[in-house]
């Protein structure tokens, strides 16, 4: 079984989630999303799988949230997705995908629901 994780190796929750995946005998396809952000189609699909709107997947305490204008309530779904691609630090982490299901690994144990 291969599980995809949108991962930030500097984030402790992301590292803990990756360890849980590996401890459950799953191989992980690691996508370092800060280096390689998902494209608009992929991000839209992830949002649908998570059942979230773009702003729900954003890290609102990041400096980039306000600086990028992501705090503007008039922005459309497509505009918010574009901002997450341009400023990938805005994307909540880690996102784990397996067998057509996705979860955010906060807390890391949530990943167990889809393994």
CA 68 to CA 66: how far, in whole Å? 5
Domain that holds residue 102: 1-33+93-115
Catalytic site includes residue 69? no
- The reply to whether 78 and 111 lie within a common domain is no
Could you tell me the CA-to-CA distances from 23 to 28, 89, 97, 107, 115 in Å, in that order? 11, 27, 16, 16, 11
Are residues 29 and 43 both part of a single domain? Answer: no
CA–CA gap between residue 8 and residue 82 (Å, rounded):
20
C-alpha dist (Å) from residue 55 to 20, 24, 26, 36, 73: 27, 31, 30, 20, 10
Whether the per-residue pLDDT at 1 is higher than 70: the answer is no
- Among the listed residues 11, 30, 49, 52, the single catalytic one is 11
pLDDT in tens, 43-98: 999 999 999 999 999 999 999 999 999 999 999 999 999 999 999 999 999 999 99
In the predicted structure, residue 25 carries a pLDDT above the cut 70: yes
On average, the pLDDT of the chain sits at 96
- The stretch 33-40 carries a mean pLDDT of 97
Residues 84 and 47 in one domain: yes
């Amino acid at each position: 079984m291969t599980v995809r994780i949108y991962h930030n190796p500097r984030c402790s929750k992301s590292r803990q989630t990756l360890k849980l995946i590996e401890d459950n005998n799953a191989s992980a396809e690691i996508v370092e999303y800060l280096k390689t952000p998902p494209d608009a189609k992929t991000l839209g699909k992830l949002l649908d799988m998570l059942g979230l709107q773009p702003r729900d997947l954003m890290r609102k305490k990041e400096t980039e949230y306000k600086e990028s204008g992501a705090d503007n309530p008039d922005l459309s779904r497509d505009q918010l997705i574009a901002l997450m691609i341009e400023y990938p630090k805005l994307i909540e982490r880690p996102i784990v995908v397996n067998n057509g299901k996705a979860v955010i690994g906060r807390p890391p144990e949530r990943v167990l629901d889809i393994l």
